[in-house]
Chains A and B, each alone.
Chain A
Amino acid sequence: MSEEKFQVIIIGAGVAGSAAAYTLAKAGREVLVVDKGRAPGAKNMTGGRLYTYALKELMPEEWAEAPLEREVTREIMMMMTPADSVAVDSTFGSVNQQSYTVLRARLDAWLAEKAEEAGAMMVPGSTVDGLIIRDGKVAGIKTGDEELEADLVISAEGANATVAERAGLIRPVELKDVAIGVKHVIKLSEEIINERFNTVSGKGAAVMCVGECSKGVSGGAFLYTNKDSISLGLVVDSQSWKNSRLPLADIAEELKRHPALARYIEGGDLVEYSAHLIPEGGFKSLPQLYADGFLLAGDAAGFVVNRGFTVRGMDYAMLSGIAAAETANEAIEAGVYSRSILKSYESRLQQRVLKDLALFRNSHDYITRTRHVYKTYPRLAADLMRNIYNVDGSPAKLVSGLVKKTISGRVPYFDVLKDMFKGGRSL
């Protein structure tokens, strides 16, 4: 390493930062990663499911050693009222290593270790305060009273990217751009989890819930089985949460007591509690992804898709980390770090990340504006199920009659059709 200058400095050792560092180090570049956590991943959070294709792409050989918790082979979609729940439960014998549950403290530490082994310099425990900007070009980072120079800086600093924001490279985060997530990790033995979810070691379940779980606030709850713990949490739209004036911690606490979920976590010990922002602005809020000497990757760039039944961010963080590294490689080879070269980053992202974001451009609005989803439909589903199975000796009715009886007066048929149609086109 030349004493005073790195080829690339990466802010953040989350999945995006470590993916970029790993790719660059493999290409023999001098790369420094600075993370504010005491150890990489120490404070990072996610719901829990990593779509594995991205990890395989990052490290075709080593990925199988990654600390993945359980392969998701069982998907449960649940609608909840205060007392009842209706679930669609699917067990997939046919999926093959498509997605795994993960815990960030383990995954991020491992990814950072791999990047370090490949030759990247990982420096945890330091916070980047700002960027060195010279003649309009990003030329390094500032931390405390120290300045470190680089040909190129990649911000992989996650949602609420204050470094990029302070430098005027992205606009400040607004309420509508972010959702808020809280999560409890509850420790249980591997055997108990296997029993409760009717699964074997190494395989597990993902549960997505709408309805009472978020107290009518737009959003939903999730539950993931890890090896010997359960991640249970919720994601709510920040505007809708603000309007509700409900304390988020209370909603999360009550979630744990809902009969449909309490049975899964009974007797477990709470070992982790966390809260985090999730970029939700989607395609419409995407920032400028590059500037002279500068690239944005992962959550910092807003690469998250929330479709209600899945949140995807980690796979996009990895893909964009790889794409940023490839772009940096191209720039280093050309010896040019200006926008004219770095714009190839956008074309690298076009095929997958940006295409998906464009496709689901309306999912956020759908999720936040379709209010029946959170109260009315769960109620209807639970009532319909109860009516169908109710036998009390009174004259029986055809199912169509029961549907009519359940829906009538609760919600206009037209609304149901509209919500279904729009949902199909948004999610």
Chain B
Amino acid sequence: MNILVCVKQVPDPVEIKFNSETASLIRACAANIVNPFDKYALELALQLKEKHGGEVTVLTMGPPQAVDALKECYAMGADKIVLASDSLFEGGDTLATSYALFCAIKKTGEFDLILYGKQAIDGNTAQVGPQVAERLGVAQATCATGIELADDKVLVAREQDDCQEIIEVKMPALVTVAKLAVEPRNPNIRRKIAANKIEMPVISAADLEGIDAARLGLTGSAVKVKKMFAPPVRGAGIKIENETADNAVKALVDYLSNAKAI
């Protein structure tokens, strides 16, 4: 069984800051993490490998610092890691991203199963996986919470609110993965040490035969962002302090009636 997992490095939402003047994320101060859904996808891939044997490869397209995400995946147990990095890939929308990934996947190898996270927590479009499936011409299933192998098919349990849905797709297949019942495993120290030392193959656009540069990055994007703005910040509330209970209540009632709220 050859499994490929595509992961994206995203800013840690805990530390994210927004520059309201330029209306953009301050990426420099945010730590980066592996997109949480992609970690579930990797966990699922590793479980399948443990059960059925085979190999797990992890691919990411991103800037050079995305190696940290790949090293984390290697430490978790991936057998191979591949970085696709090129300034031509920069600034793409989902269309351009899925095209670049499609080309990179074809270069990386043949896979029975390709796993994606159901969505990336920064862009949140949930479009990249399905688009890649279309480009590859393989069956797809989205929002999986579990996968069973049955000969040349996979049974996919899908995330549903009020029922259990299990669908069958033929391999090769592309499945996007939602939150699992188990948390992704923590890498052990030996694996982390090995990850620190690993040599990483980097694919650039020039390595991808027949790639059409016009379909990459910002140039290749169908969606153009016209404007970004932060929603207005809500001002601090009013505190009534250092008053006796009676005076405080009176101040509150005065305030509310002046504001015509009561």
Contacts and interface: CB of A to CB of B under 8 A. Distances in A.
B31 A34 contact: no
Interface stretch (B89-97, B112-120, B186-194, B207-215): B186-194
| Chain B, interface SS category | helix
B20 interface: no
Contacts of A289: none
Most B CB within 10 A of own CB, among A123, A144, A145, A148: A123
B196 interface: yes
Contacts of B189: 32, 34, 123, 126, 143, 146, 148
Contacts of A38: 31
Contacts of A144: 186, 188
Most A CB within 10 A of own CB, among B31, B186, B189, B193: B189
Contacts of B187: 125
B186 A123 contact: no
- Interface size bucket, B side? under 10
A311 interface: no
Contacts of A32: 189, 193
- Interface size bucket, A side? 10 to 19
B9 to A, nearest CB: 15
A146 B194 CA distance: 15
A146 B31 contact: no
A207 B188 CA distance: 44
A39 B32 CA distance: 12
A126 B193 CA distance: 12
Nearest to B17: A271
Interface in B11-46: 31
A143 B191 CA distance: 13
A275 interface: no
A39 B31 contact: yes
Contacts of A58: none
A123 B31 contact: no
Contact of B192 (A39, A123, A145): A123
A146 B187 CA distance: 11
Contacts of A148: 189-190
Interface in B167-207: 186-190, 192-193, 196
Contacts of B31: 38-39
B196 A121 contact: yes
A126 B192 CA distance: 10
A146 B190 contact: yes
27 contacts: A32-B189, A32-B193, A34-B189, A38-B31, A39-B31, A121-B193, A121-B196, A123-B189, A123-B192, A123-B193, A125-B186, A125-B187, A125-B192, A126-B186, A126-B188, A126-B189, A126-B192, A143-B188, A143-B189, A144-B186, A144-B188, A145-B188, A146-B188, A146-B189, A146-B190, A148-B189, A148-B190
Given A125-B187, A146-B189, A146-B190, 8 more contacts: A38-B31, A39-B31, A121-B193, A121-B196, A123-B192, A125-B186, A145-B188, A146-B188
